[in-house]
Structure 1
Amino acid sequence: MENASKRTDAATVEQPREGPAWPAELMANANLPFRPTDALVTTQNPPDFDWPFVPGADRYRLELARDAAMDGGALVSAEPVINFYNFPGPLEEGTWFWRVRFHTPEGGWSAWSETRRFRIAEGSVPFPVPPIDEMLARMETAHPRVWTNSRELAAFRERRLHGAAKTVFENARASVLARMDDPLPPDPTFPYMDRSISSVSPEWVKALQDLRKYADTTLDHLLKAAFVYLISGDRAIGEHAKAHLLNFASWDPEAATRFDINDQVHRAVAYRSAIAYDWLYDLLSPEERQTVQDMVRTRIAVLIEHYLDRQPIYQYPFDSHGWTIAGYIGLMGTIMLHDIPEAEAWVRRAVPAFINLLPPWGGEDGSWSQGTGYWQWSSGSNKELMDVLLSAGAIDAYDKAFSRHEGLYPIYMFPHGSPTGVFGNDSHYLPDWPSIGLLNRLAQMYGDPRLQWAAEAIGERTVSGLQDYFYGDERIAPRPPADLPKAKWFEATGLVAMHSDLTDPERISLYFKSSPYGSYSHSQADQNGFILHAFGETLALKGGYYDYYNSVHHRGYTKRTYSANAITFDGRQGQPIDDFDAKGRMVGFASHPAFDAATGDAVAAYRGGELSRALRHIVYMKPSAFVVIDDLAASGPDGVSFEWNLHADERLTLDPDGGATIEKGKAGLQVRLHGADSRGSKASVETRFLDPEGAEATPVAWAAGMSQMHATFATPKTNAATLVATLAPYRLEGGAPQTIASEEREGYLRLSFEGDAVLYVRTAPAGAVVDTGADGYRFAGAALAVHGDSLLLVHGTRVERDGSVVFESDAPATAAWGDGRLSASADCDVALSLAVPGEVALCELVTGRELSADGHPAARLGSQGVHWTATPGRLALRLEQGQHAYRLDDAPLPGPLAPVTLPTEIDGAPGETTLEAWLDVDGGRLAWGRLALKAGKYEVLEAPAGFAFARHGRIGRGALGSSEPVLLRGEPGLLRLRRVGEAGETR
């Protein structure tokens, strides 16, 4: 349904009486939620507005105002006939409030929804969405419309003469020419059309995989041939492509490629044929065009019935296949507009919803709730319609906040060198060609050198996909993300990444999840779970495999909480699977050069009500130790046995001193449990994959025969527990885990780390004040970290040092400060104050923008999210809900430095390489560049201490390319290499 609406002046509208409440069942499950979420800070102007679809409603009233009471009337309003809306013009920056109500012919107007707040940040990017009539009028009437149009076609064809586009074109042409004499592919068959076996059996899945491979291979050939014709005008190849297109149009839509056998094959035949139709349009006779149009019309009718009629995507947006299909409906409608009469209705129904909801699985911070595996596939699918809407002249959806920030997701959650992905199905995939292509496209659209570097750090530019013809801009000079902090909280999806380095592929990384997206679709029941990578190895991993969707192994093990490094109880009971309301919440985060911290609250995910508290705090004591603190409580009087789960890929050994050691490849992880509540835990190791009933759920398909090790530390039955674990990753060769001294004291643990850092962990009941005695600290909070003059308070309200209050807040906050930095967050608006040395100025950490202390407090809070005042030795701030990071001194901002010369000796020949350099966000120097070599295998004979190959890390021997990316931290020194073989040799 199109988003028909009218903007109205509130003063002219009769205010309806208070009516029926919003149905409670619409506030839960996988219904479209209210957006903007309360307290959202957006850089998109205006943001997208959504609310639950109400069956029977004929219209809605959306109102916006600048005051929370909204008693002055709406400044902006609209009455759409569907449950989403995008305004056609920008709003004033600053804080807004919004509400919505629905209308039914029988009951009239409903009560208002809850009033929610959002703030449009200063420097926001306009994203007005014109009415669908205007977008339709803008769209191309001629062909082609996919990736180019009649005005730009000549320039688009010129790309084939240079660079990566030339390689893409030549590869596609050679592939087509090699198969010019092949017979047309026959309509495929499927052995289980009678559904004589289960659709989740291995046999059915194998037959589907064979069907998809056949369809994808033949359709890929069609698109390559049509594309080569579009670019070259080669008549023979065009006729070859046309023959294939008409052959696909002859396939029986009720046979093996029917929707209910496999929706992915059904949709692929339709939308890829539509793309080929667009590119071959001038070769097709009217009768041939009609043949293809009839096929598309027949196949798309089934898609519309499922995802716009029966289960509309704007009512239930969290359907992975449904979301993708809605995009393809919009794509086919855009292609067939003016050719098929019904195509206009396809566009009206699908395109506004796609623009508004893009994407259901993420938010304005660019993150993806279903994990790195499905980010690769779904992000690519999203761009198929985005690119066509752009080339057809409708709208540039790359201006959406999600798209503008999307590149941050792979930089933090799926960086180059990752030994696996993280969270969700298909997380076994490593960063590879999908990431390279997506990063190249994003770098191109925003001119972002950091994304260009991130793509190059994974590998050379991809030239295998047709999109690679126009994805990327080789003129953008790559630059590492030196200006970004090394940790990030993605608020929209409840994900946190903590890294020792963003650029080194052998970084230490911990990933933490407490997500509002539940365990639905491709997400799993792993709220408050973590994953730890170090030195290029997966150490603490997410257990289980995604052999295929809903397999015995996937459903019985991989989806379950006990397969995660998370908390279960009383015999592996955990969070329910396939439940959108099994949610977690990330309620605190801070990042500082000395330490990072995050707090997840997963109590709502344990839907049985057995737990009344399930907080997990994770503290990164930099550079090489993590502390996991679980604050747990049972609801019933008899208590429960809490279970602390840990998973490894290869070797996991229980240690006699209360912990475990994991080894994988060249790295190890020492895990130790501390404190009274951990003593007496029963430790066990399991090598089988057991389902909830204890039966073995063995992986099959590609994961057949694979194994892992699973440890559980189970407490005696108790009503409450504080479980404290330290995790120390280390290199097996020449390394050792960091020494961590543990002292148990009255009401707290004292953990001492190398470099004089100390972490105090409260073990007394929540609300107790911890007094560290001779150490001089008193604090109210879950933990307090100290390193020199820098402090970190985790989920607390007060810190005293030597009798003086150095931090105070009026609500629980997580904050790190010292050395000219402040990072703070809270789950609500919060007032805090802290002791500071001398005078301060408040500047945004990343941008360096100075934040004024002048003006009315409410006005400043409403415009910039903070109001602050400073007196000698004291800084007071009022912060809006969410995360904040500031500079408090005049230290230099990240920026370019003088180039660095790296002396080299390659096979005895002296030389030098000039590297570009930047001052990074923590005040260190990072240099980068490319090393010119004869491609082959090399041995590293000597290297500076801070040297690494961007793609390989600190290798002793390995294959290097002719232009190998390198990194250097610290001072340069001689790099000596010796060539020991050709790149392809295996000796």
Structure 2
Amino acid sequence: MSFRCLGTFRFVALAFVSAIATPSHADWVQSTALDAVQPAPSAFALQAQNPPSITWSRHPKATASTVYTVEIRNGANAPVRYTTTRNWFLPTSKLADGTYYWRVLASNAPNEWSTERGFVINPNSTVFDVPDSSVLRARATTRSRPRMLPTSFLPYSQWNAARIAERGAGVKDLTSDVVGHAPILDAVADSLWLMTTTNTNNAAFVAQQSEIRYRLNRTTHQLEAASLLYKLVPEQRYLDEAIRRGDELAALNPSGPTSFVNQDQGTRIIALSLAKAIDLLDGKIDSARRARWVEVVRLRGIDLYNDLAGNNGRLDQFPFDSHGGNNLGFLALTSALMLNEFPEAREWFDFSTRAYIHAVFAWSGPEGGYSQGTAYGQVAADAALKIWDPLTELIGVNLYDKPWAKGFAKFFAQFVPPGQPVHVFGDGHEDKPYLPILKAFSSRVATPESRWYYNNLGGTEDALTLLLAPSPLPVTRATSANAPYNGGVYPSIGFAAMHSDLWNPVRTSLYFKSSPYGAYTHSHADQNGILLMRNNKMLLSETGWYDYYGSPLWNTWYRETKAHNGITFDGGIGQPSGGNTLNLGRKGKITAFSSTTALDYVEGDATQAYDGLLTGATRKVWYLRGKDQVVVLDRLSSATARKFEWNFHAPVAITPNSDGTSTIVNGTERLCVRPLTSGSTLESRTGATPKAGTVESHAAYTRPAATSAEFLTLLDVGCKKLSVALTTTSTGRTLTVDGQVITLPR
């Protein structure tokens, strides 16, 4: 698939969600920069990982030589102190259960201890040890080449019946792939691409970037596939093909169109792919060619390292960089493969490896998930598949065992369940999920939820990654295969999922987003937005399509609130999204979540996302699981009178009815949208031109201009037209839907 840029916890205790959202004390470790790293852990939150990563913003007077002292104490015990030159710290061994307090001191401000913060470790915290860099380095260099192959690897001639049954088809697929592409895959060359970064603001340069990425991905895949196939089946033709493709990549000028400054994704994949080939083909390529390939890896690695190491390790302070985060992982694996080949590799390894393991959850908290949406989460999973298996073999730390990774796998099961036709939230939401990536990632995670997801996904993992995976696949170690809970929440990214019965292909799926990441980078201005599907047919949809990052369509429609099922006012004005970093301040927040057999409930506050244009914007959503009905309550306020608008969209026609309701029919599935309070007017809307071959319909319920407004709406899945009664009492209001009662605020 192409992109144009580059264990969920079941929280039913609302107090715990509130505790996570409690802001930290304002002291020097809490930077005023919106995109700076936040101090964590805090608010005495239970830690998913033991030991947890500790982070803080740099001291305002810090220099490259600043040393931080981190003090950690367990309850009333004497504190233990550590020193580090980075503004994060990951202990090398697990902590005993207990309540912990931590603070930090900068060497350039010896009297300014930070405010003390707390966290909790208990038996529910998963042990995930990451030794010092020296230990990891020794593990990598004591392995003989090929270093990256799993210990279970055997040439195909030595496979037993069980292994052939598990992945014999993968060998056939890899052979077909290599042999089939050998005569038809055009050579890559600098002469194919003429534009440079001076052309970054036009669509032609964006198209060139995409073409470079596409062509290099194909060529590097062919190099790695041919190299691995030669290790499995040592025929000369596979070695010849690997050498041919390696020479093509090595001939590309590191300062040319595939250079870091022109295409950082190109530089990283060339460096890593050549490093993998050097490792796999050790002793099978002549010394001159090997030296040339190694030098290309070194030169391209220098560019990667210099960028990441800039500003004393720029991601340490400003982690929200999709390309940079992935580049750090590419550098970690490349350097591990190149240790003892050139001196710089050791410096790169010590700089990047533990930092990458520490920082893989930059786009969520340690419970997993991906704030940029599931499409870009899939991109992150694809990068992980290129890095994590070989890195695990080299350093003996399995990133798939990291609690974040387990939560990330469950995130896909919750938000891209089997059969779902599209992604949800953020750039690429309209794209069809690419099942080979999702299936591959879930296969590496040994949990009952991943085993259920793996068993129920279609598609086949790419043979190249499959044949580099441990055998048997880790997911088979799970003793059962169980779907996740029907209701799930990821508070650090503000995503919630509510399903009628997640295991059932004919499920109803309701998604809610109110994200602390706002509309930053690939996220959209859709805080408090909802999506609704039934039987994998979209009933309330997101609209627009992702032509490229920063395009006119992207800026004026695709990521705007009016293109989503959210609240606007005065003719489509919604949550501001200009000035990318500012969007981290225009955030939403899930303020409550609960899930029971009969009822799911989620509450979000998007007031801050409107950047002062509104004084209140809350949405409460009830999913009545037994009735398959959804109730949505929006309460809005403004210092200025506004004509508030309740936007909704569908991939088919929206039909207005004479009683003020609306009907959406998508194939066999129906939805009736029913306002439950008087005073709303249904208006049709016009959106951007949809992608060729698709249909988009837009409508909004509006209310007369006022400084406050309420929308109470029933989403009648199946258009059952159940009995509904709204009653006002002395203490509040009740809504009864076919006998099921929910309490509403007055």
Q: Fold-level match, TM-score > 0.5?
A: yes
After superposition, give the CA deviation of every residue in 1:502-531 in whole Å (9 maximum; x if it has no partner): 111110111111112221121111111111
Distance across 1 between alignment mates of 2:354 and 2:647 = 45
Following superposition of structure 1 onto structure 2, how do residues 627-638 of structure 1 map, counting pairs within 5 Å? 627-634=631-638, 636=639, 638=640
* CA offset digits 1:654-692 (Å, max 9, x no partner): 33333322221221111111225xx1x343212332xxx
Q: How much does 1:329 deviate?
A: 0.7
Distance 2:407 2:199 in 1: 45
Shift of 1:77: 2.6
Q: Secondary structure at the match of 1:122?
A: coil
For the 8 Å contact 1:741–1:753, the answer to whether it is kept is yes
- Partners in 1 of 2:538 and 2:58 — Cα distance? 43
2:442 corresponds to 1:434: no
Once residues 684 and 329 of structure 1 are traced to their aligned partners in structure 2, the CA distance between those partners, rounded to angstroms, is 53
The within-5 A match list for 1:171-570 is 171-180=173-182, 185-190=187-192, 192-193=194-195, 199-201=201-203, 203-310=204-311, 312-431=314-433, 432-442=435-445, 446=446, 448-468=447-467, 470=469, 472=473, 479-481=480-482, 484-570=484-570
Q: Which runs of 5+ in 1 are unaligned?
A: 1-19, 690-697, 731-735, 765-987
Distance change (3 Å), C-alpha of 1:172 and 1:622: closer
Q: Displacement of 1:157 after TM fit? A: 7.7
Structure in which a larger fraction of residues adopt strand: 1
CA distance in 2, matches of 1:557, 1:598: 27
Corresponding position of 1:22: 28
**TM-superposed deviation, 1:348:** 0.8
Q: Distance in 2 between matches of 1:179 and 1:706?
A: 33
% same residue: 28
Structure 1 Cα separation of the partners of residues 554 and 458 of structure 2: 31
**Aligned-residue RMSD, C-alpha:** 2.6
1:449 Cα deviation after fit: 4.0
Counterpart CA distance in 2 for 1:332 and 1:122 is 36
- Given that 1:145 and 1:388 are in contact with CA atoms closer than 8 Å, whether structure 2 keeps it comes out as no
Q: Give deviations 1:311-366, integer Å, cap 9, x for gaps.
A: 72212111111111111011110010011111000101111110111221123222
Between the aligned partners of 2:576 and 2:83, the Cα distance in structure 1 is: 38
CA deviation after TM superposition for structure 1 residue 746, in Å: 6.2
**Distance of aligned partners of 1:571 and 1:308 in 2 relative to their CA distance in 1, 3 Å threshold:** farther
8 Å Cα contact 2:46/2:125 also seen in 1: no
Corresponding residue of 1:130: 131
Match of 1:928?
none
Equivalent-residue separation in structure 1 for 2:185 and 2:436 (angstroms)? 31
Amino acid at match of 2:35: A
Q: Determine if contact 2:361/2:368 at 8 Å carries over to the other structure.
A: no
Q: What is the TM-score of this pair, normalised by structure 2?
A: 0.89
CA distance in 2, matches of 1:649, 1:37: 43
Count of aligned residue pairs for this structure pair: 706
What CA distance in whole angstroms lies between the structure 1 residues aligned with 2:291 and 2:365?
Answer: 41
The partner residue of 1:42 within 35, 44, 47 is 47
Matched, 1:712 2:700: yes
Structure 2 equivalent of residue 90 of structure 1: 94
Distance 1:715 1:365, change over 3 A: same
CA distance in 1, matches of 2:590, 2:662: 27
> How big is the shift at 1:617?
0.8
2:266 partner letter:
V
SS in structure 1 at match of 2:191: coil
Q: Equivalents in 1 of 2:180, 2:384: separation in Å?
A: 31
CA offset digits 1:475-497 (Å, max 9, x no partner):
55885426x43101112221111
Counterpart contact for 1:65–1:96, Cα < 8 Å? yes
Query: Which residue pairs with 2:20 in the alignment?
Result: none
The TM-score with structure 1 as length reference comes to 0.68
**Aligned residue in 2 for 1:119:** 120
1:140 paired residue number: 141
Q: Does 1:581 align with 2:589?
A: no
CA distance in 1, matches of 2:570, 2:43: 36
Give yes or no for the alignment of 1:759 onto 2:742.
yes
**Residue 66 (structure 2) pairs with residue 62 (structure 1):** no
Change (3 A) 1:513 1:688: closer
- Paired residue for 1:162? 164
Residue in 1 aligned with 2:720?
A: 737
Q: Which deviates the most, 365-374 or 111-120?
A: 111-120
- Cα distance, 1:176–1:760 mapped onto 2, change above 3 Å: closer
> Contact 1:649/1:707 (CA < 8 Å) preserved in 2?
yes
Measure the CA separation in 2 of the matches of 1:39 and 1:570: 43
My pick for the range that moved more, 133-142 or 417-426, is: 133-142
In the alignment, the residues of structure 1 paired with residue 661 and residue 42 of structure 2 have an alpha-carbon distance, to the nearest angstrom, of 41
Change (3 A) 1:474 1:40: closer
Cα pair distance change 1:617/1:181, threshold 3 Å: closer
SS in 2 for 1:719: strand
The answer to whether the 8 A contact 2:29-2:57 is kept is: no
CA distance in 2 between counterparts of 1:570 and 1:157 reads 71
- What do residues 406-451 of structure 1 show as CA deviations (whole Å, max 9, x unaligned)? 3221221111121322111112234422111111121xxx2x3442
**Aligned partner of residue 722 in structure 1, secondary structure:** strand
**Residue type of the partner of 1:552?**
P
1:101 Cα offset (Å): 3.2
In structure 2, how many angstroms separate the alpha carbons of the residues matched to 1:468 and 1:455? Answer: 17
Q: What code does the residue aligned with 1:581 have?
A: G
Question: Are the aligned partners of 2:543 and 2:564 in contact in 1 as well (CA < 8 Å)?
Answer: yes
Whichever residue aligns with residue 451 of structure 1, its letter is S
Letter in 2 for 1:330: A
**1:111-143: CA deviation from partner (whole Å, max 9, x where unpaired):** 333432221122433223222122212223455
Separation in 1 of the partners of 2:128 and 2:714?
46
Matching residue of 2:22: none
Residue deviations 1:552-603, cap 9 Å, x none?
1112111111212111223322223231222111111111111110111111
SS of the counterpart of 1:177?
A: helix
Bigger mean CA deviation after superposition, 241-250 or 50-59: 50-59
Aligned match of 1:598 = 602
CA distance in 1 between counterparts of 2:186 and 2:648 reads 53
Name the counterpart of 1:792. Answer: none
